[in-house]
């Protein structure tokens, strides 16, 4: 039905460990797509010009991405949807959910540090979902690890085979550029933070007699040896191996200097998958289906501080999404219309008349949506794979200004709707416990509650080991909840949750109540 539009869409996320250069790479893509004219340098302490993809004030102050940003740009006849994710581990859950909305991934690795902890965790999610991956090894103009050692490290630590598409000529201060293996051309390095295009030099492979004049005799000899070894070990790339997530093409470059990016982007738009089928609890949804379906993978309050808005990010899975058309919200079983749906171009928004599979649309939300909600043209569907994880850190929310109780209540409800943290409310005394996967989220919550809602609060640590959602025999659960009243709270969907204080208490509860299953994610409900 919409094959032409679907064939033009490429929707992907950029993932990495913090400081590997992910946000810088995002900006350079926008530069190539003509969406921004200059690239802003993002540094942790002194930000000269904030990155286009870092909307939030606290992100600008800290020099880290704390919320997934969505941007779209045209490139070589394709419509590229890019989701820039938080690299910081405290915001990993936001990234995991974002990975449910993309069809492929670009993984950025710092050549100095190699494979880092957060990279491993993110790749586990990609492997689990069989998401195709392209690797960009960044910062080649700095003294880093040997390229062969880096490839071995990626294969060993990330459980994926690699296939070099370009090869560096030296590194650090002696970095001369890269040799592009498939088309046997050279891209010589020059330090430039704003240039838009790389200039390729056509040569007749590594045996070309003019090569030593361009890179030096010793470098030419080393490149010949390296390329011979690469050809012998890796052979030719089988596209099906990439699409089935078994092999990752690898590129070398420097995002800050806009080097080595164009050949990766050119390859990406050529080989990356178009929108893929998505699984619902009821059936598989194919992107070519005539009727519209989509799901909410992210919610963000106050995206524009000048307007008190709340935007739900919708991934279109099939059919055509149209402005002002009524769609069924399957959880609430009611019809909703959207008069101002948005697409995102760099740091600006544009009203979208229509959107197709692979596109991400921003919907103004008055409180109807939660993460994972499904919209359809009437069919009862529920998209799967958007989990809420059991938090690792728990604190009690303490109101510091009773006059602002309403603002605090509204703020904590909206911010936890975004998936920034889990909110658990106890019936006993209406105590509110907030659970997160990292310390930094409390800092962000406190900052945003004060600056966006005018509500001052503090978070007091509480000794809670795990929050467990429960399913099982109704009578057994009723008895358990009565006996364990002080440890029972309710999540935002009014599901009962057992707040186990220690691993021992949780184990004991499991042993004593075999008819109750204790879940560490809410996806099982």
Is the per-residue pLDDT at 236 higher than 80? Answer: yes
Of 140, 266, 249, the residue nearest 198 (C-alpha): 266
The packing angle between helices 22-32 and 261-271, to 10°, is: 80
Higher pLDDT, 396 or 493: 396
The most confident of 6-20, 167-181, 200-214, 262-276, by mean pLDDT: 262-276
Of 52-61, 356-365, 371-380, 444-453, the one with minimum mean pLDDT is 52-61
Q: Please return the burial class of 433, using the count of CB atoms within 10 Å of its CB with bins 0-12, 13-18 and 19+.
A: buried
Stretch 114-123: mean pLDDT: 84
Q: How confident is the model at residue 116 (pLDDT cuts 50, 70, 90)?
A: confident
> CATH fold of 3-271, please?
Rossmann fold (3.40.50)
Asked if the model's pLDDT at residue 136 lies above 70, the reply is yes
Query: 428 burial class (0-12, 13-18, 19+ CB within 10 angstroms)?
Result: exposed
**Structure token pair of residue 108:** 């950025």
Distance CA(490)–CA(496), nearest Å, equals 5
Tell me the DSSP string of 181-235: TTTTEEEE----SS-----EEE-SSTT-TTHHHHH-HHHHHHHHHHHHHHHHHH-
Residue 291 pLDDT grade (very low, low, confident, very high; cuts 50, 70, 90) = very high
Mean pLDDT for the stretch of residues 362-376: 88
Helices then strands, each counted (H, E), the chain: 14, 31
**Run of H or E including 480:** helix 474-483
Residue 27's pLDDT is what? 82
Percent of the chain beyond pLDDT 70? 86
C-beta atoms surrounding 35 within 10 Å: 20
Q: Averaged over 469-480, what is the pLDDT?
A: 92
The band of 524, judged by pLDDT with boundaries at 50, 70 and 90, is very low
Residue with tokens 């042993």: 511
The CA-atom distances, in angstroms, between 146 and each of 109, 248, 412 are: 13, 18, 48
Tokens coding 97: 């959910």
Q: Give pLDDT, residue 152.
A: 95
Predicted local distance difference test score (pLDDT) of residue 54: 47
CA angle centred on 341, ends 22 and 387, rounded to 5° = 55
**How far is 151 from 143, CA to CA, in rounded Å?**
16
> How many Cβ atoms sit within 10 Å of the Cβ of residue 348?
12
Q: Which residue has the higher pLDDT, 259 or 52?
A: 259
- Note the pLDDT tens digit of each residue in 408-440: 999 998 888 777 788 999 987 789 999 987 787
Q: What is the pLDDT of residue 43?
A: 34
Q: What is the mean pLDDT of residues 292-308?
A: 73
Q: Is the pLDDT of residue 98 over 70?
A: yes
pLDDT at residue 37, as a whole number: 55
Give the mean pLDDT of 448-454: 89
Pick the CATH number of 393-524 from 3.40.50.300, 3.40.50.720, 3.30.70.3280, 1.10.10.10: 3.30.70.3280
8 Å CB contact between 97 and 371? yes
CATH 3.40.50.300 domain residues, the chain: 3-271, 278-376
Mean pLDDT value across residues 501-517:
94
- Cβ neighbours, 10 Å, residue 448: 22
Q: Does the pTM of the predicted model rise above 0.95? A: no
Please say whether the beta carbons of 442 and 324 come within 8 A.
no
Decide: helix, strand or coil at residue 389: strand
Report the pLDDT value the prediction gives residue 421, as an integer from 0 to 100. 84
What Rg do the C-alpha atoms of the chain give, in angstroms? 25
Residues of the chain within CATH 3.30.70.3280 domain(s) are 393-524
**Angle CA 127–130–132, to nearest 5:** 100
What's the pLDDT score for residue 6?
Answer: 94
Rounded CA-CA distance 146/140 in Å is 10
Q: What is the pLDDT of residue 164?
A: 96
Q: Residue 485 burial (CB < 10 Å; 0-12/13-18/19+)? A: exposed
Q: How far apart are CA 320 and CA 126, in angstroms?
A: 27
Kindly list the distances between the CA atom of residue 468 and the CA atoms of 473, 486, 522, in Å, as whole numbers in the listed order. 16, 14, 8
| Residue the block writes with tokens 């370009």 | 166
* Structure tokens, 109: 């690795």
- CB 259 within 8 Å of CB 331: no
Higher-scoring residue by pLDDT: 471, 194: 471
Residues 256-280 have pLDDT tens digits of 888 888 899 999 999 999 999 999 9
In the block, residue with structure tokens 């009962």: 496
Tell me what pLDDT residue 213 has: 84
Higher pLDDT, 160 or 436: 160
| pLDDT bucket at 208, cuts 50 / 70 / 90 | confident
Read off the DSSP letter of residue 155: H
Residue of higher predicted confidence among 169 and 41: 169
**Looking at residue 271, what is its pLDDT?**
95
Average pLDDT in the chain: 84
**What count of other Cβ atoms lies within 10 Å of the Cβ of residue 318?**
25
Residue 302: its pLDDT value, please? 57
Q: What's the pLDDT score for residue 52?
A: 47
Domain 278-376, classified CATH 3.90.1170.50, yes or no: no
Nearest to 358 by CA among 83, 37, 167, 47: 83
Residue 95 has pLDDT above 60, yes or no: yes
The phi and psi torsions of 58 (rounded to 5 degrees) equal -65, -30
Kindly state the percentage of the chain with pLDDT values over 90. 48
Residue whose token pair is 């800092």 = 443
Q: Which pLDDT does position 523 carry in this prediction?
A: 62
Measured CA to CA, the distance from residue 330 to residue 227 in angstroms comes to 55
**Distance separating alpha carbons of residues 376 and 117, to the nearest angstrom:** 39
Which whole number is the average pLDDT over 392-409?
93
């Amino acid at each position: 039905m919409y094959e032409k539009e679907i064939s033009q869409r490429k929707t992907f996320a950029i993932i990495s460990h913090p400081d590997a250069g992910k946000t810088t790479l995002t900006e350079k893509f926008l530069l190539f797509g003509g969406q921004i004219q200059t690239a802003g340098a993002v540094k942790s302490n002194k930000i000269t010009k904030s990155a286009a993809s870092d909307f939030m004030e606290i992100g600008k102050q800290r020099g880290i991405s704390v919320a997934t940003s969505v941007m779209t740009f045209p490139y070589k006849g394709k419509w590229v949807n890019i989701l820039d994710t938080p690299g910081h581990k405290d915001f990993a859950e936001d990234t995991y959910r974002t990975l449910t909305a993309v069809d492929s991934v670009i993984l950025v690795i710092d050549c100095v540090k190699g494979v880092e902890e957060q990279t491993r965790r993110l790749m586990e999610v990609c492997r689990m979902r069989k998401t195709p991956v392209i690797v960009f090894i960044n910062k080649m103009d700095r003294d880093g690890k040997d390229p062969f050692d880096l490839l071995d490290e990626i294969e060993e630590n990330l459980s994926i085979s690699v296939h070099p598409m370009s090869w560096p000529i030296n590194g650090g201060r002696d970095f001369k550029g890269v040799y592009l293996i498939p088309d046997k051309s050279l891209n010589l390095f020059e330090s430039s933070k704003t240039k838009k295009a790389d200039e390729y030099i056509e040569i007749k492979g590594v045996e070309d007699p003019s090569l030593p004049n361009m890179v030096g005799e010793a470098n030419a000899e080393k490149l010949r040896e390296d390329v011979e070894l690469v050809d012998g070990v890796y052979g030719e790339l089988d596209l099906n191996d990439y699409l089935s997530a078994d092999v990752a093409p690898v590129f070398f470059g420097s995002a800050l200097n806009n080097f080595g990016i164009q050949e990766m982007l050119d390859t990406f738009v050529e080989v990356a998958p178009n929108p893929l089928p998505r699984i619902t609890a009821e059936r598989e949804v194919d992107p070519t289906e005539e009727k519209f379906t989509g799901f909410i993978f992210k919610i963000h309050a106050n995206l524009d501080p000048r307007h008190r808005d709340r935007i739900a990010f919708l991934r279109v899975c099939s059919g055509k999404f149209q402005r002002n058309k009524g769609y069924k919200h399957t959880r609430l079983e009611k019809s909703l219309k959207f008069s101002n749906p948005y697409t995102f171009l760099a740091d600006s928004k544009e009203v979208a008349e229509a959107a197709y599979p692979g596109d991400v649309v921003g919907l103004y939300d008055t409180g109807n949506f939660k993460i994972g909600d499904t919209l359809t043209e009437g069919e009862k569907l529920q998209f799967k794979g958007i989990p809420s994880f059991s938090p690792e850190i728990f604190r009690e929310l303490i109101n510091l200004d009773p006059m602002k109780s309403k603002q605090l209540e509204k703020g904590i409800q909206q911010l936890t709707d975004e998936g920034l943290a889990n909110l658990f409310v106890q019936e006993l005394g209406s105590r509110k416990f907030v659970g997160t996967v990292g310390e930094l989220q409390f800092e962000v919550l406190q900052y945003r509650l004060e600056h966006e809602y005018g509500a001052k609060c503090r978070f007091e640590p509480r000794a809670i080991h795990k929050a467990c959602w429960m399913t099982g025999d109704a009578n057994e659960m009723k008895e358990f909840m009565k006996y364990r009243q002080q440890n029972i709270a309710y999540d935002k969907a009014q599901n009962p949750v057992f707040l186990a204080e220690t691993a021992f208490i949780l184990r004991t509860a499991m042993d004593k109540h075999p008819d109750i299953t204790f879940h560490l994610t809410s996806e099982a409900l």
